Chains A and B, each alone.
Chain A
Amino acid sequence: MAKVPVFKAVNVTKTYQLGDIEVKALQNVNLEIYSGEFVCFFGQSGCGKSTLLSLIAGLQKPSSGEIFVRGEKLSELDNTGLAKYRRSKIGIVFQSFNLIPSMNIIENIALPLTFARIGKKQRLERAKSLLETVGLTKYLDHTSSQLSGGQQQRVAIARSLVTAPWILLADEPTGNLDTKSANEVMRLLISLNRKSKRTVILITHNPEYLDYADRVFFMQDGKIIKTQVNSKVKEVEEVSKIEHVSDELKEAAKEVGAVGQDEASADIQALPEEPAESLSEEKTEEKKK
């Protein structure tokens, strides 16, 4: 029996209008992601991976093409439907954590449940159990500003999981973190995928993390230029027709113009993954062309 992909993009194109210039952030993207997969989108700033994430998250709509989530068209949802989709079907982890500073940690985690009209007692219980999962129980009544970056990101992961979503979207989750915190966060994401079989979509430009992924989509100039399955991790039957060449992952990374790990870190420092900036980069790239 053919499995229905949890996420499927068909000929997805996204163009932005920046003044007179039309920027193609995504061009004819076709892909399928299956339940329980750990998928990486890898590419440089401005390659369109953040745009793709925002489309997956239902934060914007594609200019053309169709996105299916468990077989349902995302384009058929209205604003309220999209809000519900973001609340219950996906959990998003941002590079900049995006916790609400006026709320304490537990309220932040419980916020999606608040939107879902879950009672206070029930949602706080759920939030507490997730806080335990990310190992921050004792910080429950702290505000986000009282926590370190790594701790904040773990809270954000707890928040993204609070509604038990189908897909966990992580957009450069370690981009603002030191190596130690970054490793903690990555270990957390991996264990969520391995232990609870949660579908994880990781967007990164750090080739270090590609080893953890079941599959990697390499992106450049708004296109998926290469898809590789990491045979080291596990086999994914649905995509078995794609070449299994895990050792080639890093080579592939070099091919698409990614830099080495140290340089990548420097890159992170210099260029926080700011979608607005990615846009302006795309713009300049367009101009060069």
Chain B
Amino acid sequence: MKPIDILRLSFGNLRRNMLRTVLTISGVVVGISTIVFLVSLGFGLQNLAVSKVANLDALTLLTVNASQKEGIALNQEAVDKFKNITGVIAVSPLISFPAQVSVPGASGDTVAYGINPDYFNLEDITADYGSKNFSGPDANEAIVSVGSLKAVNLTDPSTTLGKEVDFKIVKVAEGDKKVENIVKLKIVGITKDESTKYAYMPINIINKFDGKVFNSVKLKSKERDDMIEIRKTVESMGYPTTSVKDTVDQINQIFVVIQWVLGGFGMVALMVAAIGIFNTLTIALLERTHEIGIMKAIGGRNGDVAFVFTAEASMIGLFGGAIGLAAGYIMGFLINLLINFVATSVGGTANPLFFTPLWFASFVVIFAFTISTIAGIMPARRAAKLDPLEALRYE
């Protein structure tokens, strides 16, 4: 039999007992819609969690840390090597030292970060007042957090911006000997950050009196996917790396577990549906035994009979899967609408709680199809193996 004729015949058989077909399909719909609803909730929450941890830009960033091993220095030479790695579009070294902010009569601790102007584009740091970047790589300028300015009473941005302040940078040399260098920098930008103390300044200023070994180097890739290769290359050079991706990966791992648990509930429903399909086809087999006998007597192959039965199960799965997908999606959409309505009316923010990736949507339909087909195989084989003569006698 041609596949198209098998489908025609199967479809005709499904239409013959419409109520039973609809009920059997409903079983699959319940299972699949539960899976889609719950797993989409899992995906939605995952996206929400990840987006709260890192914006998408953060995933194109890699922090290369100084190696503990001998002979692998994180210096300008290394930075140049990083620049040549394919996929890297920006490299920004960072050097940090304990420092003091001082004005006549007062001083406070802070941490001095020597960076390239590029760095502000890479890291998610934006000055809330004043300039968002240095005027150049050699400018005598600093962008400081409010936290570091408290001790020197310069917390009012309107008066502080543009002021020149002394920064005492402390370098611990060999034998715990402290070397202090004082630079005078103009405060061009202030961040609202009150809890942490930091002061960003052009790296060239610090380089003047340091051995040019960086604490860390930030790399940026064009695409998120490039990062995996870049990271491998950098690590093969001997440098340890950290990335926001590590955190995101951990979150994702947790959510994979959550999704499996959520999907598991739906799976139970789908298994019940599969038993329903099995049951339906077994009854259909009894009902149609005589008919199978006729088909065999007039030249139907065992395979033809088996295919017709299997195709019926597959169709139930396909219809159930498609309808279940739509039902689960709509259910999630409505619940999301409701929750966001409640959330916004009590002053919260609206967030998308459900997310159905396209791959998951297609997977679920294929899954329903496969499970149903498997459920149909045994009745189909029984149908195929019926003795034609006995089947003909069966009424």
Name A residues whose Cβ lies closer than 8 Å to a Cβ of B. Answer: 54, 57, 59-60, 79-80, 83-84, 86-88, 91-92, 94, 98-100, 102-103, 111-112, 114-117, 119-120, 159-160, 163, 274-276
Contact = CB atoms under 8 A, between A and B. Distances in A.
B356 interface: no
A136 to B, nearest CB: 18
Name the interface size band of chain B.
20 to 34
Interface in B294-320: 294-304
30 contacts: A54-B389, A59-B297, A60-B387, A79-B301, A79-B302, A80-B301, A83-B296, A83-B304, A87-B298, A87-B299, A91-B298, A94-B297, A98-B293, A98-B294, A98-B297, A98-B392, A99-B294, A100-B291, A100-B294, A100-B295, A102-B291, A103-B12, A111-B300, A114-B1, A114-B9, A115-B304, A117-B1, A117-B5, A275-B392, A276-B393
Given A102-B12, A115-B301, A159-B298, 15 more contacts: A60-B389, A79-B302, A80-B302, A83-B302, A83-B304, A84-B299, A86-B298, A94-B392, A98-B293, A98-B392, A112-B298, A112-B299, A117-B2, A275-B389, A275-B392
In this complex, the member of A91, A98, A99, A274 whose beta carbon has the largest number of chain B beta carbons within 10 angstroms is A98
A54 B303 CA distance: 21
Q: Please report whether the interface of chain B is mostly helix, strand, loop or mixed according to DSSP.
A: helix
Interface in B278-296: 290-291, 293-296
A91 B299 CA distance: 9
B121 interface: no
Contacts of A83: 296, 299-302, 304
A92 B299 CA distance: 10
Nearest to A88: B299
B392 A115 contact: no
Nearest to B16: A102
A271 to B, nearest CB: 15
Contacts of B389: 54, 59-60, 275
Interface of B: 1-2, 4-5, 9, 12-13, 16, 290-291, 293-304, 387-389, 392-393
B16 A92 contact: no
Contacts of B392: 59, 94, 98, 275
Closest 6 CB pairs of A and B: A87-B299, A83-B301, A59-B389, A86-B299, A98-B294, A276-B393
A252 B16 CA distance: 50
B384 to A, nearest CB: 9
B387 to A, nearest CB: 8
A274 B299 contact: no
B198 to A, nearest CB: 78
B388 A163 contact: no
Contacts of A274: 393
A111 B298 contact: yes
A99 B388 CA distance: 15
Contacts of A117: 1-2, 5
A111 B295 contact: yes
B12 A92 contact: no
Nearest to B304: A115
A120 B299 CA distance: 17
Contacts of A114: 1-2, 5, 9
Contact of B298 (A60, A102, A115): A115
Contact of B393 (A57, A112, A275): A275
